[in-house]
Amino acid sequence: MDISRIESQKDFGFVKKPVRPAELLMKNIKFYAGAEFGRRIVIEVEENLPLVNVDAEKIGQVIKNLVDNSIKYSVSGDIVCRAFQKLDMVWISVQDQGIGISEEDLPHIFDKFFRVERKETAETSGTGLGLSIAKYIVESHNGKIDVESQVDKWTTVSFGLPIYKG
């Protein structure tokens, strides 16, 4: 349904309000508490982060998508979730120590239905829509989303949201 709304240029009916990014991150990481996936989720949050004006449910969907991807595409190592301020935005990043993404695939990672084709991902389920939807949600909040990766080492997906000016 989300992708059909994006394609028809209808908005998601965002309900934005000022929220604390650290609380938003913690709430959505709690979703994974007690789950057995063989890795720790490490959380690093900068103190005294300013508020962001967001639809907490939709930004939570983005966080969960990034963590889900990290779990799916890494078999060992910690998943590190960070929240920090950089210039006029608060950034949230999720980094895994997984299979990584090749330089050739990086420009397409936010395309609808794009999936990295590697032997390590052949058995992994997914539609190739999660990051496309995440990008739409973040950009609809006047934010930015970015990915960095090194094959067979790590991937970090980060998104920035404008600081709430009141």
Q: Give the sign of the dihedral formed by CA 116, CA 120, CA 122, CA 127.
A: negative
Domain coverage including residue 30: 2-162
Question: In CATH, what number is assigned to the domain containing residue 112?
Answer: 3.30.565.10
Tens-digit pLDDT profile for residues 12-53: 689 999 999 999 999 999 988 777 777 899 999 999 999 999
User: Which of 31-35, 83-87, 102-106 has the least mean pLDDT?
Assistant: 31-35
**148 with 164: CB under 8 angstroms?**
no
**78 with 67: CB under 8 angstroms?**
no
> Which pLDDT belongs to residue 11?
58
Which pTM does this prediction carry?
A: 0.88
DSSP string covering 19-55? E-HHHHHHHHHHTTTT--SSS-EEEEE-TTPPPEEE-
Domains in the chain, number: 1
